[in-house]
Amino acid sequence: QVTLRESGPALVKPTQTLTLTCTFSGFSLSTSGMCVSWIRQPPGKALEWLALIDWDDDKYYSTSLKTRLTISKDTSKNQVVLTMTNMDPVDTATYYCARTLVVTAQQPVYFDYWGQGTLVTVSS
């Protein structure tokens, strides 16, 4: 059974750095084709993909946010960590981690299992 769970602070102040942890079970991030992504959703708005890390430790970031994001993994702990610097109130959102599968190198990845999400509010 595949499960993912996000954890991190519910409230951060503007300019602070956000650190979120995704703890998963039911699959291994060492398996070829396996990845974990972070996706966010501001209240009442659409989903936005943020970052992905794959089984080979390759990392991919949203073009618009890549200067602020860092994704990393601890395979032994089954955890993926996302940091986002210089937080702003517009970054208020529910942040999801999702198991991500590769189809082929030139085709889009997709998300077959999602965590329940964690709401992060940015406010002073």
Partner 1 sequence: SYELTQPPSVSVSPGQTARITCSGDALPKQYAYWYQQKPGQAPVLVIYKDSERPSGIPERFSGSSSGTTVTLTISGVQAEDEADYYCQSADSSGTSVVFGGGTKLTVL
Site for partner 1, rule CB under 8 A: 37, 46-49, 52, 60, 62-64, 96, 103, 105-112, 114-117
To the nearest whole angstrom, how small is the minimum distance from the Cβ of residue 119 to partner 1? 11
**CA distance linking residue 110 with residue 124, whole number of Å:** 35
Q: Write the DSSP symbol of residue 38.
A: E
Q: Write the DSSP symbol of residue 43.
A: T
Inter-residue contact 87 to 12 (CB < 8 Å): yes
To the nearest whole angstrom, how small is the minimum distance from the Cβ of residue 37 to partner 1? 8
Report the residue number, 16 or 92, with the smaller CB distance to partner 1: 92
Kindly state the tokens that stand for 61. 């970031």
To the nearest whole angstrom, how small is the minimum distance from the Cβ of residue 32 to partner 1? 17
Report the residue number, 16 or 60, with the smaller CB distance to partner 1: 60
**CA distance linking residue 83 with residue 49, whole number of Å:** 14
Report the residue number, 108 or 124, with the smaller CB distance to partner 1: 108
Report the residue number, 3 or 15, with the smaller CB distance to partner 1: 3
Residue with the two structure tokens 């080979």: 56
